[in-house]
């Protein structure tokens, strides 16, 4: 049976549903008569989860692909600029314990191994007891920008252009509504507000559709009848109505690796209208987890994610209250369960899951939204033209998605295993039985050289080798480079890159505005449009 793909039905809204709908509609011209028909069905009775507020730089290309103005996005979604993450108190818990995972690659990355030369510098005595620069500050100019609360560009830059690579912090509820409005107004998506009450498959087909056995033919809604299509996208969140409940695809937990299982989230108002806005996500280690702190235009999003095996809820609330301060008693605290893991496969028959219906991990490196983006992009770019090729595309999608989930799990675990904190949560994280063998093997290799692109076998990486370097050397990891020969030319080139970085720091610090200053100008004037 070789049915052409003419209609895609997305069940569920929110960011996952609307991003996927937007990607498909923009790529396949849904606003024309000949274009792909995209139908999004969402219930009026299911509130948005509304927690994920951090993104990756990929969001800039996603917004461009949807034809969204960066000015409009920033104005309407309470968005601010994110230039990486600052990890405080992850290594030993002291007040001056921090490192950065910036979004700019190390100087000369791919041309020389600056990590080796930086480690060699650390072994040399400094003059007059000068402080030793962090790895990220020596090889990248972004830590200096973040420490001073500066923006990644100026108002004179065009939309999506930059001086320093950046992502966004955003109000996820406002972003979902913004996407909905844009997709309906500009991209030709059919929006149905209704409850799905049944999923109809080819096993009991009486419609004469002659669909492939086991395929979904339609979903039945309370008030709009049966909605038919050739491809169905499950964006129903944790309930996973299609892939999980209908197809019974098992959920693979990884709580034996990542212990975080609960979040307490609050929205914290600024002390004043001109309070500084952090240029990065702040992740502060605590006795049984860590606290995120995300600065939007009008408030901060703050939350404590912790392991219930290592802390009671009362203890966790006390930790969060101490972090937030006097305002805490007047704030509404949301408790959110976290089940870390993912479906064993993500595309079954003519159904593919995107977002929480596919899986979820703790929000340590903003992986939730980037996985939605990557899935939506892959579905739109490789949309099966007909049923005869769908299983081929599905196999590739499943392999790619599984690889990405596994690598993200490894990368998140990396943040924990180098800590020297002594609370049970941290010592348990260092237990070899909880560390994936794939990560253990890489750590063995990295004792003798820095992470490099050739360590990873796919072009589908979410985190490049540079990200591993920032975490490793930010946490004080030492590599033994005595068996690696470096020539005088190598050392001279490395020194030139260190000097170039200093020049870039001075230039950035003297020319970039602070975050709030730029955001106010965007609200008043806007960026020049592309």
Q: Phi and psi dihedrals of 476, rounded to 5?
A: 85, 15
Same domain, yes or no: 238 and 383: yes
Q: What is the pLDDT of residues 26-43, one digit of tens each?
A: 999 999 999 999 999 999
303 and 446 together in one domain: no
> How much is the pLDDT for 139?
96
Rounded to an integer, what distance in angstroms lies between the CA atom of residue 269 and that of residue 271? 7
Alpha-carbon distance of 18 to 37, in angstroms, equals: 14
How are beta strands 262-269 and 299-306 bridged, if at all? antiparallel
**DSSP letter for each residue of 388-402:** HHHHHHHHHHHHHHH
Tokens of 297: 């235009």
For residues 99-108, give the mean pLDDT.
Answer: 96
Residues 248, 120 share a domain: no
Whether residue 395 is found in the same domain as residue 447: no
Whether 224 is covered by a domain: the verdict is yes
250 plus 396 within the same structural domain: yes
* The pLDDT of residue 52 is above 70: no
- The answer to whether residues 465 and 502 belong to one domain is yes
Q: ∠ at Cα 377 (372, 379), nearest 5°?
A: 95
pLDDT above 70: residue 530? no
Q: Is residue 248 domain-resident? A: yes
CA–CA–CA angle 174, 179, 182 (5° rounding): 125
| Res 487 pLDDT > 80 | no
Q: What is the mean pLDDT of residues 402-427?
A: 97
389 in the same domain as 457: no
Work out the average pLDDT over 236-242. 95
How many residues can be counted in the chain?
Answer: 530
Is residue 126 predicted with pLDDT exceeding 70? Answer: no
* pLDDT value of position 459: 76
- Find out whether 455 and 94 touch, Cβ atoms under 8 Å: no
- The pTM for the full model equals 0.94
Q: Give me the chain's average pLDDT, please.
A: 93
Q: How many CA atoms lie within 13 A of 400 on its CB side?
A: 19
Do 444 and 398 fall into the same domain? Answer: no
**DSSP state, residue 342:** E
Q: Which pLDDT score is estimated for 125?
A: 63
In a domain, 64, yes or no: no
* Cβ pair 266, 373 in contact under 8 A: no
Structural domain that includes position 305 = 262-337
The tally of domains found in the chain comes to 3
Same domain, 309 and 450: no
What the block records as the tokens of 89 is: 């108190």
Residues 317 and 302: their CA atoms lie apart, in Å, by 12
Decide if 153 is inside a domain: yes
Residue 174 lies in a domain: no
Q: What gap in Å lies between CA 243 and CA 459, rounded to an integer?
A: 27
In 3D space, the residue among 107, 106, 77, 99 whose CA is nearest the CA of residue 146 turns out to be 99
Averaged pLDDT for residues 133-144: 95
State the pLDDT at residue 525: 94
By the 8 A CB rule, do 59 and 167 touch? yes
The radius of gyration of the chain from alpha carbons, rounded to an integer in Å, stands at 24
């Amino acid at each position: 049976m070789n049915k052409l793909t003419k209609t895609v039905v997305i069940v569920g809204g929110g960011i996952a549903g609307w991003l996927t709908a937007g990607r498909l509609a923009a790529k396949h011209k849904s606003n024309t008569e000949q274009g792909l028909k995209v139908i999004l069905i969402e219930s009026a009775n299911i509130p948005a989860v509304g927690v994920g507020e951090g993104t990756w730089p990929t969001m800039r290309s996603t917004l461009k692909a949807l034809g969204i103005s960066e000015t409009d996005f920033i104005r309407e979604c309470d968005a601010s600029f994110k230039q990486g993450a600052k990890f405080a108190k992850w290594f030993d818990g002291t007040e001056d314990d921090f490192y950065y995972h910036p979004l700019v690659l190390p100087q000369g990355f791919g041309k020389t191994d600056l990590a080796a030369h930086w480690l060699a510098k650390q072994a040399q005595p400094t003059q007059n007891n000068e402080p030793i620069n962090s790895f990220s500050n020596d090889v990248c100019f972004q830590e200096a920008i973040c420490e001073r609360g500066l923006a990644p560009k100026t108002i004179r830059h065009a939309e999506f252009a930059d001086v320093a690579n950046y992502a966004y912090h955003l109000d996820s509820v406002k972003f979902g509504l913004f996407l909905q409005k844009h997709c309906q107004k500009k991209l030709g998506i059919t929006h149905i507000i209704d409850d799905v009450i049944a999923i109809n498959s080819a096993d009991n087909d009486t419609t004469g559709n002659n669909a492939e056995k086991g395929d979904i033919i339609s979903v039945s809604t309370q008030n709009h009848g049966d909605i038919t299509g050739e491809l169905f996208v499950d964006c129903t969140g944790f309930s996973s109505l299609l892939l999980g409940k209908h197809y019974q695809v098992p959920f693979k937990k990884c709580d034996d690796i990542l212990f975080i299982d609960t979040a307490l989230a609050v929205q914290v108002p600024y002390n004043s209208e001109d309070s500084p806005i952090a240029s990065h996500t702040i992740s502060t280690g605590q006795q049984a987890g860590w606290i995120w702190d995300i600065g939007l235009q009008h408030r901060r999003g703050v939350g404590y994610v912790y392991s219930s095996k290592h802390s009671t809820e009362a203890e966790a609330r006390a930790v969060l209250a101490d972090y937030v301060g006097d305002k805490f008693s007047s704030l509404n605290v949301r408790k959110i369960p976290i089940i870390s893991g993912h479906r064993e496969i993500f595309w079954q028959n003519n159904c593919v899951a995107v977002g929480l219906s596919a899986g979820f991990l703790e929000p340590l490196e903003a992986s939730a939204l980037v996985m939605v983006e990557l899935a939506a992009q892959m579905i739109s770019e490789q949309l099966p033209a007909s049923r005869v090729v769908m299983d081929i595309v599905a196999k590739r999608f499943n392999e790619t998605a599984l690889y990405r989930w596994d690598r993200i799990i490894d990368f998140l675990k990396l943040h924990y295993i180098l800590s020297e904190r002594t609370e049970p949560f941290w010592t348990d994280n260092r237990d070899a039985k909880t560390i994936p063998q794939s990560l253990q093997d890489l750590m063995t290799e990295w004792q003798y050289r820095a992470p490099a692109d050739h360590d990873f076998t796919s072009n589908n990486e979410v985190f490049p080798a540079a990200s591993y370097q920032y975490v490793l050397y930010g946490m004080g990891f030492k590599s033994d480079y005595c068996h690696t020969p470096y020539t005088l030319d190598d050392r001279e080139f490395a020194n030139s890159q260190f000097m170039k970085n200093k020049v870039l720091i001075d230039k950035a610090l003297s020319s970039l505005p602070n975050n709030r200053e730029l955001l106010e100008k965007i609200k008043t004037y806007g960026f020049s449009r592309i």
